Structure 1
Amino acid sequence: MIAIIDYGMGNLRSVQKGLEKVGYNGFITSDPEQVVSAKAVILPGVGAFADAMENLRESKLIPAIDQVIEQGKPFMGICLGYQLMFEESEEGGLHKGLSIFPGRVRRLPPGLKVPHMGWNQLTIRQASPLLEGVPSQSEFYFVHSYYVDPADPSLIIATADYGFDFCAIAGRDHIFGAQFHPEKSSDLGLKILQNFGRQVEQ
């Protein structure tokens, strides 16, 4: 079973339905013990970084996420959930993140339409089990005003171009993050969810 963390800021049901379509059971939970006992975990999210971190703290979910990472279980952040995986964000001041990966979340550069919303191509920078069967230059659905700037370039799995190249997928081992919404990205988005689900079987 794959836990989908409910901290009051995510498209939870759409992620759950996406997993169901590719044959995996996802359950929505805000219970830290259920998160820790799950075989894999997805952290979705839509909204403000600081509010999200506060909700995770109040729900006592941060130690549970840390434990999942330490245990080496498959973990995936989506959209805001992906940004929360990094050390800090400049959104609304400087706010500390989960520090799963080193790096900072930054505002999209001046002169670009914000939010970046709609379909955009991925350029695959390195092989990843998350992208098995997904061709480079495939399109996925984005909605965001901030982007992740990883401190370690080896984390960058795929980039997208929105006036500049930004990190659209980051990851290492069984830990992944995606700026776009796979659950809203048609068949190839579902393929990514399927590939994540397969990590549970390994």
Structure 2
Amino acid sequence: MKKSIAIIDYGVGNIQSVKEAIGSLGYNLFVSNDTNKLAKADGLILPGVGAFGAAMESLHERRLIVPLNELVLEQKKPILGICLGMQLLADFSEENGYHNGLGWISGGVIRIEGGQNLRVPHVGWNDVDIRQKEPLFDRMQGTSNFYFDHSYHFDAKNEEDVAARVNYGLGLVAAVKRGNIHGVQFHPEKSQITGLRLLKGFLNSIG
């Protein structure tokens, strides 16, 4: 039986492009903010573009915080946060003021410093330095190149939660992992074959 994957629809996100990318891999896929339906999925995708505060407000308005805590922290359902979706995993963000995050992986979201001819936002293709190969990067061969588009970055408190870094003046966090919780700062759905391999690695890891 094919695994069922749910994209969490909370009104903020690049849902269509993520849906098309995962759909091309042949998985049963649906988009929903109905917690009863999300509970039946084998794995979850939390996409996101835009502002951190607005995203958290949308999750609160749809009463998704408590159910997601139950599914992810208690039931250990695998989840992948993408771009802003990864940043929401943090304790807080300093984007446009101070905002609490989901607090699933210790750390804060702060603005990229830039300087030394480094533009903010950080937009474009960059190689990543893989620190934890499985499961996101276990299908990678040679250089892993992904597409980034962000002005803020996840400053992880614990290095053991960092799955990959990208060199942009500093070694910014490119991916995180803590147990069943995964996140990537880049856009795998826009990263061509390498991005599809990463999505495949996550989806294949779902038991």
TM-score, L = length of structure 1: 0.96
State the alpha-carbon separation in 2 of the partners of residues 105 and 136 from structure 1. Answer: 30
Correspondence 1:184-199 to 2 at 5 A? 184-199=190-205
Matched residue count: 201
Correspondence 1:83-162 to 2 at 5 A? 83-111=87-115, 112-135=118-141, 137-162=143-168
State the alpha-carbon separation in 2 of the partners of residues 155 and 177 from structure 1. Answer: 10
Question: Helix, strand or coil for the counterpart of 1:8?
Answer: coil
Pairwise CA distance, 1:188: 1.0
Question: Helix, strand or coil for the counterpart of 1:158?
Answer: strand
Question: Helix, strand or coil for the counterpart of 2:203?
Answer: helix
Identity %: 46
State the alpha-carbon separation in 2 of the partners of residues 191 and 110 from structure 1. Answer: 30
State the alpha-carbon separation in 2 of the partners of residues 108 and 79 from structure 1. Answer: 14
Task: Report if the CA contact (8 A) 1:122-1:136 is conserved.
Answer: no
State the alpha-carbon separation in 2 of the partners of residues 180 and 110 from structure 1. Answer: 17
Pairwise CA distance, 1:127: 2.6
State the alpha-carbon separation in 2 of the partners of residues 89 and 137 from structure 1. Answer: 31
Question: Helix, strand or coil for the counterpart of 1:54?
Answer: helix
Aligned AA for 2:14?
N
Task: Report if the CA contact (8 A) 1:36-1:67 is conserved.
Answer: no
Task: Report if the CA contact (8 A) 2:114-2:169 is conserved.
Answer: no
Question: Helix, strand or coil for the counterpart of 1:86?
Answer: coil
What residue ranges of structure 2 are gaps of 5+ in the alignment? none
Task: Report if the CA contact (8 A) 1:85-1:98 is conserved.
Answer: yes
Pairwise CA distance, 1:195: 1.2
Please list the CA deviations of residues 117-148 of structure 1 after superposition, one character each: whole Å capped at 9, or x if unmatched: 11011111123211112136311000000000
Question: Which residue number corresponds to residue 25 of structure 1?
Answer: 28
Extract structure 1 runs of 4+ deviating beyond 3 A: none
Task: Report if the CA contact (8 A) 1:16-1:25 is conserved.
Answer: no
Please list the CA deviations of residues 171-197 of structure 1 after superposition, one character each: whole Å capped at 9, or x if unmatched: 022210000010110001001111111
State the alpha-carbon separation in 1 of the partners of residues 123 and 36 from structure 2. Answer: 35
What residue ranges of structure 1 are gaps of 5+ in the alignment? none
Question: Which residue number corresponds to residue 187 of structure 2?
Answer: 181
Question: Which residue number corresponds to residue 13 of structure 2?
Answer: 10
